[in-house]
Structure formats: structure tokens, C-alpha cells
């Protein structure tokens, strides 16, 4: 399932991310997606601050998450991210979150998967605009499309 992802980042679940049932609160998975997105961009040579200085924002136009198993406090998670497609002013990130097994004889556990569609907008007027060429090339080179 994660074999076709070229990038992942890791994090340890913090206590504040859990709810009264001692599992990660469902809304926190979107924060995990954001962590993976920002780390993905850093990995290909860019970060949000530099892109914003160039006059662009990326706004989330759609977000989805499907939950399979609970993550709990102190779990070690791997958050896989990739860009599935890129259009003129938008792209779709896919995510897969797994819990790393603490025992090497046990398999990792699939926790959740999801996606976010981001739209590039001009930061002066928030109107959709073309994804900057330098970022488009970096994504195409990394993803191989």
C-alpha cells in the first residue's frame, strides 16, 4: 500500500492529540497530513515561507480521511505523502498513515489514509493562479510524471 510513495515523515503521538477514549482525535489526522505536506515540500527543496514570499498561497479546497485503526498516545507513526496529480492551479496529495510496530516480529498497522486538494492562489487577492514553474518542475521530477 505504501510501496508507491517516495516520501514519508515520522512523528510520535503526543498526549494532547488524544481524546477521552485515549485515541487520536479524528481531526488531528488533518494536522498529520499538514505535517507531511510541509515536510514533503522541504524534501523537494521548498517550504511554505519561501513560496509565500513569492506571492503564492496554497489553500485546501477538499480534504478526506478514512480511518482503519486507532492511533494512541506514544505510538510511532509514519505518514506517507505523494502528489497524485497536478493541474494548472491545483494538485492532489495522497496520504497513508501507519503505526510502526514496537516488536519487529509484528507487522505495522494501517491507521488511516486520505487526500487533500490544494489550489494555488495569488496572496494579494486569493484568486486561483498557475502553480509556479519552479515548484511544478520539482514535483514532476520527484514524482516522475
DSSP-derived 3-state class of residue 42: helix
Q: Residue 99, Cβ neighbours under 10 Å: how many?
A: 19
Residue corresponding to grid cell 487577492: 125
For residues 48 and 15, is the Cβ–Cβ distance under 8 A?
no
Long-range own/partner contacts, residues 122-126 (CB < 8 A, 24 or more apart): 122/55, 122/56, 122/57, 123/52, 123/55, 123/56, 123/57, 124/55, 126/57, 126/59
Q: How far apart are CA 144 and CA 41, in angstroms?
A: 15
Does 19 participate in catalysis according to the annotation? yes
Active-site option among 4, 19, 54, 74: 19
* Active-site annotation, residues: 19
Amino acid at each position: 500500500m505504501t510501496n508507491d510513495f517516495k516520501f514519508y515523515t515520522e512523528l510520535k503521538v503526543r498526549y494532547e492529540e488524544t481524546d477521552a477514549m485515549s485515541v487520536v482525535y479524528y481531526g488531528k489526522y488533518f494536522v498529520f497530513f499538514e505535517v507531511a505536506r510541509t515536510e514533503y515540500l522541504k524534501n523537494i527543496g521548498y517550504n511554505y515561507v519561501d513560496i509565500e514570499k513569492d506571492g503564492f498561497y496554497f489553500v485546501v479546497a477538499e480534504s478526506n480521511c478514512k480511518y482503519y485503526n486507532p492511533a494512541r498516545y506514544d505510538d510511532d507513526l509514519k505518514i506517507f505523502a505523494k502528489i497524485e496529480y497536478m493541474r494548472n492551479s491545483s494538485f492532489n496529495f495522497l496520504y497513508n498513515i501507519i503505526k510502526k510496530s514496537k516488536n519487529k516480529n509484528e507487522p505495522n498497522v494501517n491507521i488511516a489514509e486520505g487526500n487533500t486538494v490544494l489550489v494555488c492562489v495569488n496572496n494579494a487577492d486569493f484568486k486561483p493562479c498557475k502553480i509556479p514553474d519552479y515548484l511544478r518542475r520539482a514535483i514532476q521530477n520527484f514524482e516522475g510524471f
